[in-house]
Amino acid sequence: MALALKYESQRLAYPFFAFSGLVFGLQILFGLLAAAQFVWPQLGLGTIPFNISKEVHANTLVVWLLMGFMGMTYYMTPLETERELWSTKLAWVQFGSLAASAVLLVVLYVFDGLTGHAYNVQFLGTGILSEGREYIEAPRWADIVIVLNVLMYIGNVAMTYLKGKKTDVMLMMIVGQLCLAVAYLPGMIATNLMSEDLWWRWWVIHYWVEGSWELIASAILCFLLMVTLKAPRRAMERWMWLEVALVMLTGLPGIGHHFFWIGTPSMWLWIGSIFSALEPVPLLLMVWDAFRHSQEYQRHITNRPAIYWTVGHALFNFVGAGLWGVIHTLAPVNAWTHGTQMTVAHGHLAFFGAFAMLIIACWYVALPSLQGVEHELAWDQGRGMRAFWWMNISMCTMTLVLTGAALVQVYLERVVGMDFMTVKMQYNWFFWVMRLATGFTFLWGCVYLWRDLWKLAPARSEGLGGSAPHAIPASPEA
Amino acid sequence: MDHDKAARLGRSLFFAGSAVCLAAMFFYLTPASLAYMNLANHVGPEGVPAEVARGKQVWQKFVCIDCHTLLGDGTQYAPELGRIGIKRDDEYLKMYVKGAQTLNPTGGMPSFPAMSDQEAADLVAFLNHTSQVNLPKDLWAEMKAKRDPYDKRAYAPETNPFYRSYWPPRPMSADKQ
């Protein structure tokens, strides 16, 4: 008998996951173009210049992660609240409007590039095609659509929560979602001063990451560990509260590391340095939590890709966001590394580890039941594992390559005093070639992922789930 | 400690800790920082000059931040522009922002035929304005006249004694002179 979804409305997760997979593909393609433009700077001039490829690369990241979070919310909300979603129609409207806006935005960004920004005229206080602010390039009309969309999403989940069973995981999801909507608003504060512009921009970016996505991610991590390991809910929720409390206590003042040298008072050098140094603590706690529980309950593992991506997420959240962050967010260090490739190295591993890997773990948890495979071992888990290793090794190599480029840049540009372009095109050119190569190997890993997202393959040998471990399914203790 | 007690403690720590941090951000750190930013940017009660405000719109219209960094924030594909007003004169900058491919045909910066002369002038005014951030205005004017980006006085000690340099840091070669 095929694996069945417990609630019909869980099916909503699939269109969200499929769309997020497609946008992820688009993100990688534009990332490859941007990486190639580092090697050949004249590539795309007159059509899609670097600023457009970077703009699409960064914005599609936000969209596919958001879509992935939403899909997972719709998958887990009925299970947690033990009832169908409040309104599947509203969720479909929300999916349609967000997907349409995302596609339209990508088309408009490319159009903006093709026309040399000639038509990016003012509309509702920003450019109609692009706001022109890094990471929050979505123009004001799209900001409004996004906020309304998130409100629909919160309303739907909150109504389900209020009518259903109350769990701490769902409470955390709703708090995280509320913060998602609220933290987007400072980006709409109009200012003519660049320092203030950067100030409010970081409120959106840093507080989305630390004050919202990390909360949603902690709730999802808690749920994933309960589902994949059959770990007891009480212990998982206890950990979750401690982790999110520490994330907020360190992350909220930790915004200070974005306020170095941009025309803000020097107190931020202290605040940013101290709290940034503490930010890896909760992330390390998550690693310990994930490793300890996956060891303790490993006899229950039947879905190897899901647990690898979950534990990998905890580990690379710590390494990418924590370690690669703290090595350059202490003010005396940042005085030298500010605005260099060190930020790029950190950004790539942090977003991949903290959020991309978590969403991929969600896909692997949900896909067997969403696609109705025969039983929990009757699908080839080898593809998910190959994707895991290809993508992780590629991303780690890319991060190391970018870190190498950063060290060369800091020394030659900031210490010796050489010109930016000389360092970039003569001394660091080899690093750009290496980065492009790792981009292609990363893409190769993604191909396995997309094939699974499209359709899971049947197990190679009956009942063993391809390369699945010897596993004994057990009843959940939750 | 039993589960309920531990979870309650974690929950209280989460909500109370977040509330305290956000209260500090809203009621002290943000007002103090916004007031300081006006000083660091040399903005008086009359506000930001009109051409600088228009220049910021041009900066955003042409999505400059997705190639360049400004005050260290942005994209590390093209040079930092936070002190470009000291390094280059206005006429050269106006020509470059419109027709980069004419002046540097092998470079990666596109020309922008859609940019009007007025937009180019406003953009340069904006870049000149951001070039003054964190610098005493008279010193900036003096340096701009001398066009010496590595003038030691540009990096006068900050208010915090531990961090002696403004960004970008003083190059070692200048230290040794």
Q: Which residues of A touch B64 (CB under 8 A)?
A: 51, 132
Tokens of A410: 């800091």
Q: Is B19 on the interface with A (CB under 8 A)?
A: no
> CA-CA-CA-CA torsion for A405, A411, A417, A422, nearest 10 degrees?
-20
What is the rounded distance in angstroms from the CA atom of residue B48 to the CA atom of residue A472? 68
Which chain B residue shows the shortest CA-CA distance from A55? B66
What predicted TM-score, i.e. pTM, was given to this entire model? 0.91
> Is there a cis peptide before residue A282, judged by omega within 30 degrees of 0?
no
Using a CB-CB distance cutoff of 8 angstroms, which residues of chain A are in contact with residue B70?
194
Which residues of chain A from 196 to 225 reach within 8 Å of chain B, CB to CB?
196-199, 201, 211
3-state helix, strand, coil in chain B (%, to 5): 60, 0, 40
A7 inside 8 A of chain B by CB: no
Minimal C-alpha gap between B169 and chain A (Å): 6
| Beta-carbon separation of A421 and B79 below 8 A | yes
Of A54, A67, A66, nearest to A27 by C-alpha is: A54
Tens-digit pLDDT string for chain B (177 aa): 566 788 889 999 999 999 999 999 999 999 999 999 998 899 988 999 999 999 999 999 999 999 999 988 999 999 988 888 888 889 999 999 999 999 999 999 999 999 999 999 999 999 999 988 887 777 778 777 776 544 444 333 333 333 333 334 444 343 333
- Answer whether B159 touches A (CB < 8 Å): yes
- Residue A149 burial (CB count, 10 A): 21
**pLDDT (0 to 100) of residue A463:** 47
- Tell me the pLDDT tens digit for each residue of A340-390: 999 999 999 999 999 999 999 999 999 999 998 878 788 999 999 999 999
Q: In chain B, whose CA is at the least distance from the CA of A261?
A: B167
Contact A263 B41 (CB under 8 A): yes
- Tell me, rounded to whole angstroms, the distance of Cα A169 from its chain centroid: 19
Of B13, B36, B174, the CB nearest to A245: B13
Which residues, 6+ apart, have CB-to-CB distance to A90 below 8 Å? A152, A155, A156
Please indicate if any CB of chain B lies within 8 Å of the CB of A444. no
Residues of chain A neighbouring B36 (CB-CB closer than 8 A) = 263-265
Q: What angle do CA B96, B126, B60 make, to 5 degrees?
A: 80
* A419 pLDDT more than 70: yes
Q: Residue A416 and residue B57: Cβ atoms within 8 Å?
A: no
Contacting residues for A326 by C-beta, under 8 A, at least 6 apart: A276, A277, A279, A280
Mean residue pLDDT of chain A comes to 91
B10 vs A116, A130, A242: nearest CB:
A242
Q: Which of residues 377-416 of A touch B (CB under 8 A)?
A: 414-416
Question: What is the model's pLDDT at position B162?
Answer: 30
pLDDT value for A461: 63
Distances (CA, A) of A280 to A247, A319, A322, B76, B80: 9, 8, 4, 25, 29
Q: Check CB contact under 8 Å for B60 and A168.
A: no
Interchain CB contact of A420 with B (< 8 Å): yes
A146-177 pLDDT tens trace: 999 999 999 999 999 999 999 999 999 999 99
Q: Which two tokens stand for residue A303?
A: 């879905």
Residue A422 at interface with chain B, using a CB cutoff of 8 Å = no
The label of the residue with tokens 């977040």 reads B18
- CA nearest neighbour of A146 among A107, A117, A187: A187
Residue of B nearest to A172 (CA): B11
pLDDT band at A335 (very low <50, low <70, confident <90, very high): confident
CA distance A143 to B85: 33
How many helices (H) does chain B have, and how many strands (E)?
9, 2
CA pair distance B14, A83, nearest whole angstrom = 28
pLDDT tens-digit map of A179-194:
988 999 999 998 999 9
Is-contact A216 A148, C-beta < 8 A? no
Secondary structure (3-state) at B70? strand
Q: Which of residues 73-92 of B touch A (CB under 8 A)?
A: 73-80
Give me Rg for the CA atoms of chain B. Answer: 22
DSSP state of B171: P
Q: How near does any CA of chain B get to the CA of A357, in Å?
A: 24
Read off the pLDDT band of A3 (50, 70, 90): low
- Is A115's Cβ below 8 Å from some Cβ in B? yes
pLDDT score, position A44: 93
Contact A336 B169 (CB under 8 A): yes
Q: A45: left (phi > 0), else alpha (psi -120 to 50), else beta?
A: beta
User: DSSP code of B152?
Assistant: G
Searching chain A, which residue's CA lies closest to the CA of residue B128?
A194
Do B63 and A252 lie within an 8 Å CB cutoff?
no
A154 CB neighbour count, 10 Å cutoff = 18
Q: What is the pLDDT of residues A268-314, one digit of tens each?
A: 999 999 999 999 999 998 888 888 888 888 888 889 999 999 999 99
Confidence check: pLDDT of A476 > 70 = no
Rounded Cα–Cα distance for residues A216 and A8 (Å): 23
CA-nearest residue to B166 within chain A is A261
CB contacts < 8 A, A to B, total 234
pLDDT of residue B1: 57
Token pair for B6: 């531990």
> Is B80 close to A344, i.e. CB distance below 8 A?
no
Smallest Cβ–Cβ distance between A54 and the set B77, B101, B172 belongs to: B77
pLDDT at A148: 94
Which of A68, A134, A469 shows the shortest CA–CA distance to A305?
A: A469
Nearest to A66 by CA among A352, A318, A355, A259: A355
Q: What is the 3-state secondary structure (H, E, C) of chain A?
A: CCCCCCCHHHHHHHHHHHHHHHHHHHHHHHHHHHHHHHHCCCCCCCCCCHHHHHHHHHHHHHHHHHHHHHHHHHHHHHHHHCCCCCCHHHHHHHHHHHHHHHHHHHHHHHHHHHCCCCCCCEECCEECCCCCCCCCCCCHHHHHHHHHHHHHHHHHHHHHHHHCCCCHHHHHHHHHHHHHHHHHHHHHCCCCCHHHHHHHHHHHHHHHHHHHHHHHHHHHHHHHHHHHHCCCHHHHHHHHHHHHHHHHHHHCHHHHHHCCCCCCCCHHHHHHHHHHHHCHHHHHHHHHHHHHHHHHCHHHCCCHHHHHHHHHHHHHHHHHHHHHHHCCCCHHHHHHHCCCHHHHHHHHHHHHHHHHHHHHHHHHHHHHHHCCCCCCCCCCCHHHHHHHHHHHHHHHHHHHHHHHHHHHHHHHHHHHCCCHHHHHHHHCHHHHHHHHHHHHHHHHHHHHHHHHHHCCCCCCCCCCCCCCCCCCCCCCCC
Q: Which residues of A touch B107 (CB under 8 A)?
A: 41-42, 421
State the CB neighbour count (10 A cutoff) for residue A298: 12
- Give Cα A321 distance to the centre of its chain: 11
- Alpha-carbon torsion A461, A363, A290, A170, what sign? negative
How far does the CA of residue B95 sit from the closest CA of chain A (Å)?
A: 17
Residues of chain B with Cβ-Cβ distance to A132 below 8 Å are 59-66
Tell me the per-residue pLDDT of A425-469, one tens digit each, with 9 for 90 and over.
999 999 999 999 999 999 999 999 999 999 999 887 654 444 444
d(CA A247, CA B110): 42
